[in-house]
Structure 1
């Protein structure tokens, strides 16, 4: 939820894990030219409305910072005019607007790319935040806190890295794609309604989150997986409880989502310890945290409970795993009627770095004419 919709200022601090770009990434190319007659943007090959308020807010902020830098004298060497129009192309290699943080990745990548084009070297938290609040966290790798801040102008509502991507090398992340469809209720509209109608959300922001933030940072720094996992699940559950406490209620989870929750708890109960954790954003897709030595067994449990209907060899994407067989004990503990096709596929990944510059011209999405390259 936000306390200021225009500046995108949150009602509480938050923490996220940046995923590795080898498996999930947004790629963005931007170029400016005196020959362009207007700003234009393409997303996943389709031209979009460049007049979207949040996109315009990012552009205005970047251009303001570039003018400020030039006026101080530091930017005299900038070769490109600030009056030039910009063309932007962006692509996600994972489902867009399906509750998998595509807006966070997209706006973080956009802010970073525009900063390179316009010669801006300031902290980009505020720029990315204007597009999507959680995008400010995605400007950093590893484990990242978005500090809510207290100032009315939002200058102190910025992201900071809690631990780098190399801090916890054993941690693994599985994205269980239940639905790649665009969600019916967008995050922004949903959050606005929750702020206006949910008393649980106000209690959560004031009384629960501050303590959980301290506990979560402590668990990450200590690489305490059971503590990290329990907090992750409890917080996900409470987030979705606030959605149900919203009026009219919002339900991002579906029956498969709830079966995944059952699967995780039964898997942990069978082992007598917390080896796997789930979290759900504003959508039905599950993000699973576990450690390297548990990944293969849990993937086998998911395949057992949600057997693929077709293309079983493409069920697992991303990091390669050596398949394992489930023990009869675990099969009995899961005690779930198989739901074929419930999980479309799994993306296996790990903690990753912040934005990376792609030097290979072949990776650029715009051609020399500033228009999207034809699809290969």
Structure 2
């Protein structure tokens, strides 16, 4: 959206869904790039009940980058937010380098306004929806095309899966720079219409232990973690097959084992 009264103003708004892992990623081989120890697979939920909504805007009138979450200003210096902004701008710079007028877009500061219509940091994948929404909005704003789930991953690992609807795998990858760690849709949102997710919110309070802290503790203390990691690749294949064949008993059994 452009403001006719301000030719330097440009705004994009989008919404993004929550995803619930049926094969969970738990632990990272690289904390900075958020590269997982194992691949994972999730179901993307509809947005009628649970969604993040983000607006991003640039303007000649803005004198610094700013961000608001659920009506409260947040520090834009959060390392993960900075990683996302830097990568989006890096890719945009490559695309815009041939156009002086378009390149001017990169000189403007950005304002980010995000909100969730469900409890934040309470175990309902708010960071996944939030970062997916942020990355998609920024990509539209700056004209970044192609694969963007790897950028969302740098904000919140599971956010890469919320870029797509339906059933989505996050490939763990092997490259040190994370170029092969991204999300892939394995079945569309219309593939299995009988599937339903029932979500009961027993507390809307912030979790006592965040996911990152929990993962770090598990990696450093669990004697069974390596066994879990070694068995995930086989279970990913079985789960993918169960989804494609709409085999709910196998789907449910695997979910209980590794979610």
CA distance in 1, matches of 2:126, 2:102: 32
Which residue of the partner structure matches residue 114 of structure 1? 138
The correspondence for 1:50, drawn from 73, 76, 83, is 76
Equivalent of 2:254 in 223, 231, 254: 231
CA distance in 1, matches of 2:106, 2:40: 35
Say if 2:213 is the partner of 1:194.
no
What is the alpha-carbon distance in structure 2 between the residues aligned to residue 58 and residue 228 of structure 1?
Answer: 34
The question of 1:7 aligning with 2:33 is answered yes
1:334-373 to structure 2, matched below 5 A, reads none
Count the aligned residue pairs.
Answer: 233
1:278-317 paired onto structure 2 within 5 Å: none
TM-score (norm 1): 0.60
Q: CA RMSD in A?
A: 1.3
- Which one has a bigger Cα radius of gyration? 1
Q: Cα distance, 1:22 vs. partner?
A: 1.2
Distance apart, 1:235 and its partner CA:
1.5
Cα distance in 2 for residues equivalent to 1:92 and 1:81: 28
1:99 CA drift (Å): 0.8
Matched with 2:233 is 210
The match for 2:170 is 146
Judge conservation of contact 1:96–1:182 (CA < 8 Å) in 2. yes
Deviation at 1:199, TM superposition (A): 2.3
- Equivalent-residue separation in structure 2 for 1:78 and 1:210 (angstroms): 44
For residues 60 and 225 of structure 2, what CA distance do their matches in structure 1 show? 48
Q: Which runs of 4+ in 1 moved over 4 A?
A: none
- Unmatched runs of 5 consecutive residues or more in structure 1: 237-376
Could you tell me how far apart the structure 2 residues matched to 1:219 and 1:183 are?
A: 32
Unaligned runs of 5+ in 2: 1-26
Q: Secondary structure at the match of 2:105?
A: coil
Contact (CA 8 Å) 1:80, 1:118: kept in 2 or not?
no
- Check the 8 A contact 2:121/2:127 in 1, yes or no: yes
Aligned equivalents of 2:193, 2:29: Cα separation in 1? 36
Corresponding position of 1:33: 59
Greater strand content: 2
Tell me, yes or no, if the aligned pair for 1:78 and 1:119 is still in contact at 8 Å: no
Tell me the distance in 2 between the aligned counterparts of 1:168 and 1:77. 46
* Aligned mates of 1:201, 1:179 — CA distance in 2: 29
How far did 1:76 drift? 6.1
Please tell me whether residue 23 in structure 1 is matched to residue 49 in structure 2. Answer: yes
TM-score, length-scaled by structure 2: 0.87
Inter-partner Cα distance in structure 2 for 1:33 and 1:214:
47
In the TM superposition, what is the alpha-carbon distance from 1:192 to its structure 2 partner? 1.5
